[in-house]
Structures are given as C-alpha cells and as structure tokens.
Chains A and B, each alone.
Chain A
Amino acid sequence: MNRNYNFAFLDEGSKRAVRRAILNAVAIPGYQVPFGSRELPIGRGWGTGGIQLTLSLIGPDDVLKVIDQGSDESVNAVNIKQFVGLCTDVKTTTDTREATLIQTRHRIPEIPMTNRQILVLQVPIPEPLRIVEAREEVTKKMHGEKDYAPMWLELYESLIKYRQVTIAAEYPCIVEDRYMINPSPIPKFDNPKLHRAECLYLFGAGREKKIYAIPPYTEVLSLSFDDVPFEKESFKGKRCRLCGSENTYLDEMIAQTTGEKVFQCSDTSYCQEVKSYVSE
C-alpha cells in the first residue's frame, strides 16, 4: 500500500459524499442521483464511476473481485484491481462466492449473488432515454413525469421495421413500475438477473456524474409488449469449448490456428469451476 495516499485514495470527505449519494439511490430505486464525481488516476470512461463506489465502500475486511467482459484477467480488470490494491491492501479473489464486493464491466456473474454481496457496475451512459433524446434537461423532465412514450415508440418502430426489437446490450428496464433505467451495457442475457435478486446492485457513472441502485428483491422488468415478449441473445445449439456449458453467455471467437468459429464462456471464473467439477 502506498502510504502517500489516504486509504482508498479519496479523502474521507469525498468518500462520505459518495456514500450519501448511494443512500439516496437505494432509497429511490432506479432514480439517477447526481453526485460530485471526483477525478481518479484512471481514465474517465474507463470505470471511474464504479471505482468511486468501490473506493467509498471498501473497508480493510472486504474481499474484492473485479471483472471485465466476465473475465478476472482482462487488462482493464487487472489494472483496476492493482489500483485499489495500491491504496487499500484488501484481499482480492476471482471466486464469485468469496467476494464481498464485486466490480464489473459489461457482465453480471453467472453464479447468483447473495445478500452479503454488492455488485458495482460501471456505467458509460446512465440515461436510458439518451437514445431517443439527447438533452439532459429534457430527459430529466421525462423521468419526472414518467413520460416514457418515446422509448416505447422506438421499440414499436423497430418491430415494424425489422420484426425484432433491435436494441442489443444496455436494454432498458423499468424498476418497481416507476423509473426506467439503463442496466449498463450488460447483455440482455443478464437482465433477468436484476429482477428480485438477493444482492444490492450499484451503478456508477463517473464521467456523467450519476449513481443509481437496485436494492435486493426489487422488481426489474425489461421492456416488452404484451404480445411480444422480451428476448435474450440466443446461443441455441452452441456450447462452451472449454467446460461444455450450454446455459451461459458465450464469447464468439475465431481460433488463432484453424480460423474456425468457436465459443467459450464469457464468465471465466464460472467456466473454470465447471471445468474442474467435470474433470473430477
């Protein structure tokens, strides 16, 4: 640990300000709480919202896991873990069950999380309505008036044009029949994991200076019409080349030697666990 810096980098006043914003966010599920986002030694747009949540919450007894694209070993995850390690010395892990605090980019772990755990999600664009309205001043009013018609229209137009809802990742959800949220760029595959979950989900957008939350057991429904159900990415007939799983989110890749299209689990820690279980 680098003694030149405070525990968890930020000064205590800043950490407290972030925690206050978190409490507000938990009290109003799905509402985007503005906060005085601090600059960090990590790039804005590289997970600084998530990192500020992690830094303001982490204590010496926490066990931290950081993943990016589902992987513990990706450059970005390693980089964030090293930074938090530099100013806290907390234990880190790749085991989803062992972690008390998990920071993630673009995925929710395959193993369901429990109520002694917090999942911190990094968010590039917190505003779900941004795809239909560019101006913050307007979207803020739309949330206030629960005016989500333009988004429903967007879905409808997509159905007419392509016979599909073509929104890919970052698929919008409604929280407790009130606020529309952007679940961060997780794939649609992960959206159902937000619904009535046991753990606390915290979303941090550093550049856009917003924090929002989904507390445990909250209703989170992905947008759908009565006659057009919500549809996840499909990996029908495909399985992980490493562990054989057929129920996980798969990364598609081109094999370096054969040029063949192959699939493997995006959640690397889950994949290893299944693999060791299968080989035993």
Chain B
Amino acid sequence: MAYVAVSGGKKAIEESIALLSYYKSGTDKDIETVSIEHKMSLLVDRVMSEAGLYAKAYAALALKQCEGSVEEAVFLLRAYRSTLTRNYYTHTVDTNDMRLVRRISAAFKDILGGQILGATYDYTHRLIDFDLDSKSSLATLSAQRDKLATLTPEEIVPCPRVSDQLKKEGLIDSFPIDDTKPSDVTVSMLEFPTTRSARLQTLTRADTGFISGLSYSVLRGFGQVHPTVGELRCGYVELCVPYLFDEAESICIGEILITEVECFNETNDKDRLKLAMGYGAVFGRNENKAIAIAVIDRELEQGGPYPTQNEEFVLTHGDSLEMNGFISHLKLPHYVTFQSKLDAVRKTRRDKNE
C-alpha cells in the first residue's frame, strides 16, 4: 500500500502489521514454543545473553513472535523486563561450585579435576544431514533416558581453577577478594573510565557478532595478538537470595546455565614477564562469545592505540538494542532536518556563484 509518512499513518501501520502476521504464519503448520526452547536452545541462549534476561520460555516465545530475528527477540525481552519490579539481588555466585557439563583447557593437557569434553560441535563434520527430517526426537530421547536410568550419578566435587595453580606459582597476580558492590549498567549510565563490573556486564550483554568481530581483530594483530584459553567451563550455578525474615539465611531460587572463560596473555612485570588474565561469563552455552569477552576484557585492561583497547569505543557500540535502534531510525522521516541541510548547502553554492 502506498503511503505518505506524514499522513494516513494509522491505516498503513495496521495493514503492515497484518502483512507481518501473514509472513509469520508462513505455512499452515504451527511451531510449538517448547520445541523452539529445546531444539533451538543455542539460539535461545544467544537471545537471553544479549537481552540480559535468563528466561528460556520467554526467549522462545519472543523468537516465535518475530520470525526468529535475534535482534527483535532481544528487543522484546528487554522491553518486557522494563515493566518488572526488581525485588532481589542474588548473592554472589562462586563458579568454583559450578555443576559442570563441559570443561576444557587449551593451556594444559592434564588439569586438576580433569577435562570434560561435553557436548560440542567443535569435532563434528559440518555436512548437511539430509536424513534429519526422517529421524525421531522421541527415539533419541528415550534411548538416552533408558541409558541414564542404568547409571549412578557421580558426586559433584567443586573444581579448582587452572589459574589457581599459576597464581600459587606467582605467574599470575593474586588479588584479595573484593566485595565492593558491583555497578549495575541496567539502572545507571556508563561513565568513563568505568568499573570492571560495569565493563563485564556490558560485554556479556553485547551483540555476539560485534564482540566476536572485535575479538577477531585482536587475534589478527590489532591488539595483543594471541591469548591462550586457560579454562573454559560450562555448567549450572545456583542462585540464592537473602531470606526476608532472617538476613543470615538465604533461599535458593533455581539454577542457571552459564559459560565461563579465563584467557592468559603474557605481559610486562618490570624487567621480566608474567601472565595476565582476561575473564568472560555469559548466559547459556555460549562459548565463542565467552572467549571473545575474555579477550576484550584483557585488551581493555591493557589499554593502547587499537579500537579494542579503547573502553568508550568498545562499550558504547555493542548493545544490540542501541545499535539496531539507531540504525533503523534512519528509516524515519527526516524532512525537517534535510530541508535545513539543503538550505545550508544551497547557501554556500549561491555565494560561490556570486
């Protein structure tokens, strides 16, 4: 439908939304939200991390609502979160207590607590499986469940970090536990220079593509080049909040799946070298993003002439909502400002011709 952006807007918007629903329906078959939640779980994880809201079912619903657009789904979750009252802050999570589903180190062959490969696409052949459509989820699921029923669960033993050993050896600086209340980037504006907590929060919510590209630029030479993944762990951590009637007590309200990475770089220590660490933690199984964050965290700590070493550059341009909102606003009418620009351009030309 033809429209003029300054008149008849209401009808045009209604028709546009009707057309969207038609596109969304696509075929006569419906997709179940619970299927998106479980069968597209990496997509769900990405949306949750960029939204900064851990809510699998809502993330799946949001994806269903917007034809699977990551930026739109992130947008829906963020907007929904704005309407919720924040009742509690959880206690600090100690990731040493993580219930691991995967743990690897690229630094040492053997590590205390062992490596667990877990589920990864890293060692799959990326060949399209043309038989996939004829395979049954039910069969796979029940076979795995039957197998699980015959096994006895192992006791969970807290796993020390690879970096603990290097700290003991003095190769990585040790710092006392810092219990300063962290910044909260969702309720206050970033100001520069900012705190490390604000930095890590901003990075974990950043657009995956943006942060991956930046991190890649570091590896290619626009930064300190090649860090080593000391440890990547993926697993469940428990969240606890203070108990209302007795502050000394706490209540566990559930667990979330996260990926955590520690990267090592060589750095100067007066006339010798030491190792410095970059850190990244993200919602879900989100490994490349966690590594990318750890790389950038280290670059920002180091500082220097490259884009990834400039805190303001990195932290103000990676938010999915902000970047996509501002880019898409270019589609809005700019008749008044463009008229003003025309006036300015014409005035200079008139003068030159005189």
Contact = CB atoms under 8 A, between A and B. Distances in A.
User: Do A and B originate from a single complex?
Assistant: yes
Interface of A: 5-6, 9-11, 13-14, 17, 34-41, 43-46, 48, 68-71, 73-79, 82, 105-107, 124, 135-137, 140, 162-164, 166-170, 185-189, 207, 209-210, 233-234, 249-252, 266, 268
Contacts of B327: 45
B contact face: mostly helix, strand, loop, or mixed = helix
B84 interface: yes
Contacts of A10: 82-83
Nearest to B52: A39
A251 B339 contact: yes
Contacts, number: 168
Contacts of B325: 43-46, 48, 207
B192 A136 contact: yes
A245 B332 CA distance: 26
A34 B183 CA distance: 15
Given A69-B336, A162-B348, A78 B321 contact: no
B29 interface: no
B1 interface: no
Nearest to B328: A43
B332 A233 contact: no
B337 A185 contact: yes
A231 B340 CA distance: 12
Contacts of A17: 187
Interface in B171-194: 186-193
The 9 closest A-B pairs by CB, nearest first: A44-B325, A45-B326, A34-B189, A39-B78, A45-B329, A75-B9, A45-B325, A36-B187, A209-B189
Contacts of A34: 188-189, 191
Given A74-B5, A77-B9, A249 B336 contact: yes
Interface of B: 3, 5-10, 12-13, 75-76, 78-79, 81-86, 186-193, 312, 316, 321-322, 324-329, 332-337, 339-344, 347-348, 351
Contact of B5 (A75, A233, A234): A75
A106 B5 CA distance: 15
A33 to B, nearest CB: 9
Given A11-B85, A35-B188, 13 more contacts: A35-B189, A48-B325, A74-B6, A106-B336, A136-B192, A136-B312, A163-B348, A164-B351, A167-B344, A233-B339, A233-B340, A251-B335, A266-B339
Contact of A185 (B81, B191, B336): B336
9 contacts: A36-B189, A40-B79, A69-B333, A76-B5, A78-B9, A106-B336, A106-B337, A168-B344, A188-B340
Contacts of A266: 335-336, 339
Contacts of A48: 325
B343 A36 contact: no
A37 B78 CA distance: 12
Contacts of B192: 135-137
Nearest to A107: B336
A168 B343 contact: yes
A189 B336 CA distance: 10
Contacts of B335: 69, 251, 266
A36 B333 contact: no
Contact of B329 (A5, A43, A169): A43
A9 B329 contact: no
Contacts of A69: 6, 333-336
A9 B316 CA distance: 26
B13 A45 contact: no
Given A35-B189, A73-B8, A209-B189, A40 B82 contact: yes
Contacts of B9: 73-79
A48 B10 CA distance: 20
B312 A76 contact: no
Given A78-B10, A187-B337, A164 B322 contact: no
A248 B337 CA distance: 15
A252 B346 CA distance: 13
A6 B83 contact: yes
Nearest to B16: A75
Given A163-B348, A168-B341, A45 B322 contact: yes
Nearest to A76: B332
A266 B83 CA distance: 35
Contacts of B82: 9-11, 14, 38-40
A169 B120 CA distance: 53
A168 B335 CA distance: 13
Contact of A164 (B328, B332, B340, B348): B348
Given A38-B82, A73-B9, A135-B312, A45 B337 contact: no
Contacts of B188: 34-36
A13 B83 CA distance: 10
Q: Which of B10, B13, B344 has the most CB of A within 10 A?
A: B344
B38 to A, nearest CB: 27
B337 A207 contact: no
A191 to B, nearest CB: 11
Contacts of A73: 6-10
